[in-house]
Amino acid sequence: MSRRKTQAGLSLVELIVAFTILMLLTGMSVPLARYKVRRDRERELLYNLREIRTAINKYKDDADMGRFGQTKMGTEGYPETLEILVEGQKIANDAGDKKKKFLRRIPIDPFTGKREWGLRSMQDDPKGTTWGGQHVFDVYSKTTERAPDGTPYSEW
């Protein structure tokens, strides 16, 4: 009898209660963690889209002001590819080979994990997924996933 009083430990009932509480807490935290991961991806997608679209608009503004020389026919002053925004466009009437860059690198799409974006020109259907190849007017995510409200991320 004296041996039982000196032993420390938990009874079976206490263990069951403790494990039940742990399971409930774990069950509640998993959906919250998934929600947070999705919200973080959405926030990053919006940021990356804004960054690319801002670079496209700055390129268009400079092209409209004639900083790159004569605008190529059919481009309306928009870049022909996203890579031009990274590599830079040669400035007209510059003695050197100075180029103006608009992006350090093409951002990663957080849903696909790649630096590949869907491209649209002004002639393309605003909700279409095919690119006419004339110029880059807009970008979109190539993911087929949908936001919690049901809108495809490709329409953001």
Distance CA 140, CA 145 (A): 13
Contact between residue 140 and residue 120 where contact means Cβ atoms under 8 Å apart:
yes
Answer yes or no: is 98 within a domain: yes
pLDDT band with cut points at 50, 70 and 90 for residue 6: low
- The pLDDT tens digits for 76-110 are 899 999 999 999 999 888 777 788 999 999 999 99
**In-domain check, residue 115:** yes
Q: Distance (Å, rounded) from C-alpha 156 to C-alpha 150?
A: 12
Strand partners, 140: 118
57-76 burial: b if 16+ Cβ within 10 Å, else e: eebbebbeeebbeeeeeebb
On whether residue 2 sits in a domain, the answer given is no
Tens of pLDDT along 54-82? 999 999 999 999 888 888 887 889 999 99
In a domain, 18, yes or no: yes
3-state secondary structure (DSSP) of residue 13: helix
Asked if residue 4 is part of any domain, the answer here is no
- In the chain, the number of structural domains is 1
Residue 109 domain boundaries: 10-155
Assigned domain for 58 exists: yes
Taking CA atoms, 72 is separated from 11, 13, 55, 135, 154, in Å, by 81, 79, 19, 10, 29
